[in-house]
């Protein structure tokens, strides 16, 4: 049976990750900024530790770490290094503990940089900033032992073939910490599995199969076909995504995520696989628990 993964947040369990805004930091003195960021980062490292324990206690096999675990880490004006913060060493130590605990409890950790992180852009400055973002997440990934940093293809810019070539070129220039963790996922608007799988095969990048996106943006391949092709791209346990449409299928907008997973949306061919499935549902740990019960036939 697959391991189920929880994404970033909790619905009921009181584990919170804190953030701040650039605007607010701008109102503070230099030392005030460092103090504020230090407090938030330490809080978030401890919250991650709590999240890992929660997953272990509740039969959840994976946890996706929010991109803002270190708030504004790569912001052009307010970015920082951990050693510049009053509790920098303590924060790093807490992340290292998270890594040990996750390894002991066998909780798989991953990252999913958001839509601003693009390797397909024709604008080199956007690519450069994206790689800075990937480097930040890779640094935390090293501390905590996360093995996946998953991104989308991004835009097509009117010429998908050229955009795919830019992704490939950028991938070949990544350093090992990023490269060894980077994965590509099909999205609901531009890049289908058919678009990404050849690139993944050619450059040894694992393919994260999101079946909901595939149903929103089909490419002629069946769920079974893509599942088989996706599995072959992995040199470690495969990671897939599941979600259900908020308003149901056949409505104008199927992109929005439902609170829970409709078991009818869960591919039968996934039931016996040794894979991790991130559950993208707004009810968070409650949705994972419900899906877990349904898969167990309870």
Among 38, 110, 121, 233, binds DNA (CB under 7 A): 121
How far apart are the two ends of the chain, measured CA to CA in Å?
Answer: 14
CB of 109 to DNA, least distance (A): 16
Q: How many residues does the chain have?
A: 298
Examine residue 195 and tell whether it contacts DNA (CB under 7 A).
no
Residue pair 123/86 in contact by the 8 Å Cβ criterion: no
Residue of the chain from 84, 106, 115, 222 that contacts DNA (CB under 7 A)? 115
> In this structure, how many other beta carbons lie within 10 angstroms of the beta carbon of residue 263?
12
Interface with DNA, residue 250, by CB under 7 A: no
Considering the complex, state which of residue 22 and residue 269 has its C-beta at the smaller distance from DNA.
Answer: 22
Q: Contact between 67 and DNA (CB under 7 A)?
A: yes
Least spacing, CB of residue 236 vs DNA, in Å:
24
CB-based contacts of 33, cutoff 8 Å, min separation 6: 25, 78
Residue 285 contacts DNA per CB under 7 A? no
Contact 28, 36 (CB under 8 A): yes
290 binds DNA (CB under 7 A): no
Q: Which of 81, 104, 116, 232 binds DNA (CB under 7 A)?
A: 116
Does 22 interact with DNA (rule: CB under 7 A)?
Answer: yes
Closest contact distance (angstroms) between CB of 244 and DNA is 12
| Distance of alpha carbon 130 from alpha carbon 122, whole angstroms | 13
Interface stretch with DNA, choices 88-96, 126-134, 178-186, 222-230 (CB under 7 A) = 126-134
Q: How many residues bind DNA (CB under 7 A)?
A: 46
- Token pair listed for 274: 């040794």
Site stretch for DNA (CB under 7 A), options 82-90, 113-121, 167-175, 263-271: 113-121
Give dist(CA 213, CA 191) in Å, integer. 9
Task: Work out which of 4, 8, 34, 134 binds DNA, going by CB under 7 A.
Answer: 8
Candidates 53-61, 125-133, 172-180, 269-277: pick the segment binding DNA (CB under 7 A). Answer: 125-133
Query: According to the binding rule CB under 7 A, does residue 169 interact with DNA?
Result: no
Interface positions with DNA (CB under 7 A): 7-9, 16-24, 27, 36, 67-68, 72-76, 79, 114-118, 121-123, 126, 129, 133, 154-158, 189-190, 253, 255-257, 280, 282
């Amino acid at each position: 049976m697959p391991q189920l993964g929880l994404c970033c947040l909790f619905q009921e369990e009181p584990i919170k990750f804190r953030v701040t805004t650039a605007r607010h930091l701008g109102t503070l003195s230099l030392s005030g900024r460092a103090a504020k960021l230090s407090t938030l980062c330490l809080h978030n490292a401890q919250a991650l530790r709590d999240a890992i324990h929660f997953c272990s206690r509740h039969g959840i096999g994976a946890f996706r770490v929010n991109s803002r675990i270190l708030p504004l880490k790569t912001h052009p004006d307010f970015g920082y290094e951990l050693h510049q913060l009053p509790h920098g060493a303590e924060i790093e130590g807490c992340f290292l503990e998270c890594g040990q605990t996750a390894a002991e409890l066998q909780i798989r950790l991953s990252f999913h940089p958001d839509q601003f992180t693009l390797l397909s852009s024709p604008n080199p400055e956007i690519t450069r900033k994206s790689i800075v973002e990937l480097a930040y997440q890779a640094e935390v990934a090293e501390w905590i032992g996360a093995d996946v940093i998953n991104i989308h293809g991004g835009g097509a810019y009117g010429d998908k073939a050229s955009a795919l070539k830019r992704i490939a070129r950028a991938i070949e220039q990544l350093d090992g910490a990023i490269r060894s963790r980077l994965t590509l996922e099909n999205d609901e608007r531009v890049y289908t599995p058919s678009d990404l799988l050849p690139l993944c095969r050619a450059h040894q990048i694992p393919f994260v199969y999101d079946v909901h996106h595939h149903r929103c943006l089909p490419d002629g391949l069946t769920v079974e076909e893509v599942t088989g092709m996706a599995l072959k791209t992995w040199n470690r346990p495969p990671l897939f995504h599941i979600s259900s449409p908020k308003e149901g299928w056949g409505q104008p907008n199927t992109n929005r995520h439902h609170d829970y997973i409709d078991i009818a949306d869960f591919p039968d061919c996934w039931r016996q696989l040794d894979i991790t499935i991130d559950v993208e549902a707004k009810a968070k740990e409650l949705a994972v628990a419900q899906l877990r019960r349904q898969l167990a036939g309870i």
